[in-house]
Amino acid sequence: MNPSYRMVLLDGVLSCPALTPPDAEPTGPPEAIPASAPDAPEPIVISRSEAAELLVEVGSAEFNDSSVGYQLVNMPVIVWSTAREHVAETELLGHEVFVRFVPVEFSWDPQDGSAPIVTNVPGAPWPDHTVSHEYAHTSSEQSMTLTTSWSAEFMVAGEQGWAPVDGLIEIETETDPFEIRERLVRLVPEDG
């Protein structure tokens, strides 16, 4: 009786030949001998929540503070954000890692029942302003809430290119409160 040989491939690794007599009941495959592989470094990945912890330079929500200390009904209240692209640095698994943050969307909620003003620019002070809102009613204490959406990407020191962080990071800030008043204008004759 001549023995037969069979080779078994498990998880991409060729095992030792198994000697099986032709009339023997088949048994499970023999234990595979793992290939010796050099220790590969663990890949570095930064999650959205980890990146959010590094995002400390979120900027502020500003408005055109008038010299009289209040804003007027039916006149534009000019707003802008100081959020800007920047790079943070941290250490992860013994490697220096850089994380770049870019503000990509600004959503201003006037908090008066109006729809948010959504833009991809941070706005600017007067006279270069691009974002404003007119309030229709007086208020003793009004403010606007800004939700800034940030994209993030990271790079390990010594490597080439940036890798994206999945998803956007949303940070909410608010302007200082301001008063909205109504002023009536009357035409009067020059002589009195």
Consecutive 10-residue runs of the chain (192 residues): their mean pLDDT? 42 42 49 52 82 95 86 95 96 90 98 97 95 96 97 92 96 96 82 68
Q: Provide the number of structural domains found in the chain.
A: 2
The whole-number pLDDT of residue 42 equals: 67
DSSP 12-70: TEE---EEE-TTSPP-PPPPP-PPP---PPPPP---HHHHHHH------EEE---TTSS
Let me know if residue 189 belongs to a domain.
no
The whole-number pLDDT of residue 8 equals: 42
| Judgement on whether residues 170 and 122 belong to the same structural domain of the protein | yes
* 186/173 Cα distance (integer angstroms): 39
| Judgement on whether residues 88 and 141 belong to the same structural domain of the protein | yes
Structure tokens at 43: 């890949």
| Judgement on whether residues 35 and 75 belong to the same structural domain of the protein | no
CB 153, CB 163: distance < 8 Å: yes
Chain segment 9-46, per-residue pLDDT in tens: 344 443 444 444 445 454 444 455 454 455 656 677 88
φ, ψ of residue 54 in degrees (nearest 5): -85, -10
* 35/33 Cα distance (integer angstroms): 6
Nearest to 57 by CA among 15, 18, 89, 31: 89
| Judgement on whether residues 61 and 133 belong to the same structural domain of the protein | yes
User: Distance from CA of residue 126 to its chain's centroid?
Assistant: 28
| Judgement on whether residues 81 and 108 belong to the same structural domain of the protein | yes
Let me know if residue 79 belongs to a domain.
yes
Let me know if residue 173 belongs to a domain.
yes
Let me know if residue 191 belongs to a domain.
no
| Judgement on whether residues 8 and 84 belong to the same structural domain of the protein | no
Let me know if residue 14 belongs to a domain.
yes
Let me know if residue 187 belongs to a domain.
no
Let me know if residue 139 belongs to a domain.
yes
* 93/120 Cα distance (integer angstroms): 35
Nearest to 43 by CA among 97, 100, 90: 97
Structure tokens at 130: 């691009």
pTM strictly above 0.75: no
Going from the C-alpha of 125 to that of each of 29, 59, 135, the distances in angstroms are 74, 15, 18
| Judgement on whether residues 56 and 140 belong to the same structural domain of the protein | yes
| Judgement on whether residues 122 and 36 belong to the same structural domain of the protein | no
Identify the domain containing residue 4 by its residue range: 1-40
| Judgement on whether residues 124 and 158 belong to the same structural domain of the protein | yes
Let me know if residue 190 belongs to a domain.
no
| Judgement on whether residues 94 and 121 belong to the same structural domain of the protein | yes
CATH of the domain at 62: 2.60.40
| Judgement on whether residues 172 and 133 belong to the same structural domain of the protein | yes
| Judgement on whether residues 1 and 62 belong to the same structural domain of the protein | no
